[in-house]
Structure 1
Amino acid sequence: MSDSGWYVVQCRANQNYRAQENLENQGFTCFQPQLCLEKVRAGRRVRRQEPLFPGYLFIQLPEQGSGWHTIRSTRGVTKLVAFGDCPAAVPPALIDALKLQTQASANDDRPALRPGRPPAHRTRPLRGHGGGLTPLRRPGRHRAAQHAP
């Protein structure tokens, strides 16, 4: 697909993986950024890969719009995110940056947010804003906070 762009698909509740599998079975290229999270399950800490954007995934489609109608009827899919009648395109640079970031975090076995390590905001909307994890009274529990400059 040389003449294609990236778009956002809204998935049904807890059906991101089903939607991605069904769309890929139809020949579409999908991308679902993952985040390594540390959660407590049955009193034990467990690392899991979870979607960075729960309920959404990215799909690569031809610019002309052929095949867009089949997306709505795919199991696990709610709709193609659009502004009016025109699907909302995602800049390819954003997809490339997300792919780079998810590959880097996949190689890093540590969780994305850790106490004492502020998030690195390098893009304009959040650049200069601080934040981080604040320890709570219970051991192992933290609160995420975002601070204005």
Structure 2
Amino acid sequence: MKIKVPGCMSLAVNDLRWFAVRVRGGMADPVFAELQDAGYDVYLPRRRYDRYNRRMRVMSERSEPLLPGYLFVAHPRRGGQPDDWSEVRGVNGVVGPLSSTVAPLVIPAAVIEAIITAEFESAYDETAAAKRARGDTDRSRLEQRFKPGRQFVVSDGPFASFLAEADSITHDERVKTLVEIFGRMTPVVFEPEQLEDLPKKGKSKAA
């Protein structure tokens, strides 16, 4: 089965023997390019993230290897010798294949396919755009934790040790709660870090 990887050739994942190759720091991209030019099927999984440029005051998307120091190579390349790693080792930046005490370790094709699938499904994409698409935003996490009616303990401030019942999330992502003050439930807004989960009740001991 062939899988198209962004920035890479179509990989016949299940038809090849895959290995993890160690590379020196910062050399993954040039090693990837050189091995690909030499006719190898190569896969370099990547994670994506946002980087804020303070000087320009702009946010940009960046990417880097998901597994620093490693990439996956199908060996041998078409027409190559199964036990001859000299061509791969000869690439500048390559340390060698990940090996046991006997021989290089074969990485199951199912593992490679699972990583590729996860990358396609943006599992390693930490950009704001990807998080919004997944519904995985700071606000959504706050809404999940501070569901209306759930109780918390106030950890600091003038209401420290009071019980606070979550009500809603404000526009600036603080938590609006109801706190009993002088016998009345009074709205009070807290920073999320000011609220702690209630301690779990221990099991009562039998008399």
TM-score (norm 1): 0.66
Unmatched runs of 5 consecutive residues or more in structure 1: 119-149
Rate the CA distance shift 1:51–1:79 in 2: closer, same or farther, 3 A: same
> Match of 1:17?
29
The one-letter code sitting in structure 2 at the alignment partner of 1:41 is N
**Displacement after TM superposition at 1:62 (Å):** 3.6
- Comparing 21-30 and 67-76, the one that deviates more: 67-76
Q: Is the 8 A contact 1:11 1:77 kept in 2?
A: yes
> Match of 2:130?
110
DSSP-derived class of the 2:48 partner: strand
Task: State yes or no: 1:6 paired with 2:26.
Answer: no
> Match of 1:97?
114
- Structure label with greater radius of gyration: 2
> Match of 1:143?
none
Alignment of 1:1-149 (within 5 A): 4-42=16-54, 44-62=58-76, 65-105=82-122, 109-111=129-131, 114-115=137-138, 116=141
Unmatched runs of 5 consecutive residues or more in structure 2: 1-11, 145-207
The one-letter code sitting in structure 1 at the alignment partner of 2:104 is P
Q: Is the 8 A contact 1:9 1:77 kept in 2?
A: yes
Q: Is the 8 A contact 1:3 1:62 kept in 2?
A: no
DSSP-derived class of the 1:38 partner: strand
Backbone CA RMSD of aligned residues: 2.9
DSSP-derived class of the 2:39 partner: coil
Ranges of 4+ aligned residues in structure 1 off by more than 4 Å: 111-114
Whole-angstrom distance in 2 between the partners of 1:114 and 1:59: 35
Bigger share in strand: 1
Whole-angstrom distance in 2 between the partners of 1:53 and 1:72: 19
| Percent of paired sites with the same residue | 24
Q: Is the 8 A contact 2:16 2:109 kept in 1?
A: no
Q: Is the 8 A contact 2:43 2:71 kept in 1?
A: yes
The one-letter code sitting in structure 2 at the alignment partner of 1:13 is G
Structure of higher RCO (CA pairs closer than 8 Å, 6+ residues apart): 1
